[in-house]
A and B are shown apart, each in its own frame.
Chain A
Amino acid sequence: MTIFAVMCAGLFPLIHMGRPWLAFFVFPYPNQRGSLWVNFRSPLLWDVFAIGTYFTISLVFWYVGLIPDIASVRDRAKGKIRKFIYSLLSLGWDGSNRTWLRYESLCLVLAGLSTPLVLSVHSVVSFDFATSVIPGWHTTIFPPYFVAGAIFSGFAMVLTLLIITRKALNLEHYITLNHLEAMCKVIILTGSMVGLAYGTEFFIAWYSGNEYERFAFINRATGNYAWAYWTMVSCNVIFPQLFWIKAVRRNIPAMFALSIIVNIGMWFERFVIITISLSKDFLPSSWANYSPTFIEVGTLIGSFGLFFTCFILFARVLPVVAMAEVKSVLGFGRKKVQGGAHD
């Protein structure tokens, strides 16, 4: 999911460049323009590195996790073409214990590396806003706030997809209600952290004594876009509190509905941060209301399309559950497991 989402996210800066065929200019490489280098003091360049690294490491980790399972699929595949493709992708994996030993070590290393990457990628993205001077963007709370928001919306989106996937592919015995309930708990925690961040932003806007900052926040809550702000607050902070009730955490339709609400709320968070802050900046003469053109709506819908196409293709051709991992935990090969009961 990360990989497909980053692919979609990567499209927007590309479109934004205006000359997407020159996108390679963002990389520092010796060239005949001087050598004219990229500006290492710009958060936009940090973004190139942060998102590039995040994407690469996620891709490697994803592929490494799939290798033993692709091998398993290869050994069962019928038909020459299928067998050929899975053979290539499985890299000749045969389950040698020497390989397993190194494999586990590799997975540990990659897990250790990708955890700080999650923090860094969202922090660096938030620097794009935080290092600017626009009221409502120029705040030091942004890095932790974006990280909490990312975990929050990430869990909600995974929950949405997981509920559909486990139903569609009959994985209810592997991805159980207990797993989903645990995810709901993470959503309450991170949702409340996001709520705390909203409150802190308001407090600092008042406490800073900066009138532009103060205006930006009063405008958020009571201005032209108050509807967007309050949609965001209710979707991200108020509705997820329903997960305190155990019956809600164990009710799949309720979970699904709430996960969609959180997704909507987090979309509105971006809308609130970007649109409201830009609509009324320092010069009243440049104040304006924003409404999307139909091309902008089209790119939004298109990015959804790209994401779901990739996701559905993935679910169709590759194992969605890490089989080798599940086998080692579920007491595989013992009679008890058949029929789906857990021990």
Chain B
Amino acid sequence: MISAPVKKILLGIFDSEKTLLTAAKNFREKGVKFFDIYTPYPVHGLDHAMGLAPSRLPQFTFAAGALGLLVSILLQGYVNLISWPMNIGGKPNNAWPAFVPVCFELTVLFGGVLTFLAFLARCKLFPGKRPVISVPRLTDDRFVIVFATGEKDFKLEETVSLLKQNGAMEIIENEVPA
């Protein structure tokens, strides 16, 4: 039987936001790389401690909204000027002030829905996905730092002792599908 490729990981489990945050900062100062950190709620300052850049989703939203605006202008222009121009009370066909509400709505609709889909795609979330790691009470009140132990310059013993020093309540070695 061929086994699926696996990734070896080390889990350091914490029980409070504060110890997790100081631990993450200490690790970063030592230059130890994280695979990821898992928390039950967004911990402010953790992205900084992990060295993550701010999300680019807002830029995406701008582009998606601009696309919505373009679609609404093209749609209304095509319908009213090219496909089926109708004389309504002798008013001009290109009655652009009347098109503003639909332009606005489609801008918002495209911006919102496409950003949501981009978020799901970027985070690889979809129905039927299994959580990458599962630790009891992870989504309740546990905070977990995960290291990829398979990497070249990873020093297992040093990391374990650092985790202990920083107040990890539990340390587990585990494997996840790569």
Residue of B61, B75, B133 with most chain A CB atoms under a 10 A cut-off? B61
Would B79 and A56 count as touching, CB distance under 8 A? no
The listed residue (A102, A117, A124) touching B57 by CB distance below 8 A is A102
Q: Are B41 and A325 in contact (CB under 8 A)?
A: yes
Known: A41-B88, A41-B95. A91 touches B125 (CB 8 A): yes
Contact A98 B112 (CB under 8 A): no
A37 touches B83 (CB 8 A): yes
Q: A35-B84, A92-B129 are in contact. Are A102 and B41 (CB under 8 A)?
A: no
What is the number of residues of chain B that contact chain A, defined by CB distance less than 8 Å?
66
Q: Report whether over half of chain A's contact residues are helix, strand or loop; otherwise say mixed.
A: helix
B7-39 interface code vs A (CB 8 A; 1 in, 0 out): 000000001110000000000000000001111
CB contacts (< 8 Å) of B44 on chain A: these are 328
Q: Write the nearest CB–CB distance from B169 to chain A, whole angstroms.
A: 12
**Chain B: minimal CB distance from A327 (Å):** 4
A45 cross-chain contacts in B, Cβ below 8 A: 102
Output the residue of A53, A64, A89 with the most chain B CB within 10 A: A53
B152 at the interface (CB under 8 A from A): no
User: A91 and B127: CB pair below 8 A?
Assistant: yes
Whole-angstrom CA separation of A113 from B57 in the bound complex = 13
Q: Tell me the complex Cα distance, A131–B133, Å.
A: 57
Q: Nearest CB to that of B129 among chain A residues?
A: A92
The answer to whether B70 has its CB under 8 Å from any CB of chain A is no
Given A95-B139, A109-B115, 11 further pairs, Cβ under 8 A: A40-B102, A53-B109, A75-B140, A87-B128, A92-B124, A92-B126, A103-B42, A106-B115, A120-B105, A332-B40, A333-B15
11 residue pairs of the A-B complex, CB under 8 angstroms, read A57-B112, A57-B113, A75-B139, A88-B127, A100-B39, A102-B119, A110-B112, A113-B112, A117-B108, A327-B141, A334-B16
- B→A interface (CB under 8 Å): 15-17, 36-44, 46-47, 50, 52, 54-55, 57-58, 61, 75-76, 79-80, 83-84, 86, 88, 91, 95, 98-99, 101-102, 104-106, 108-109, 111-113, 115-116, 119-120, 122-134, 136-141
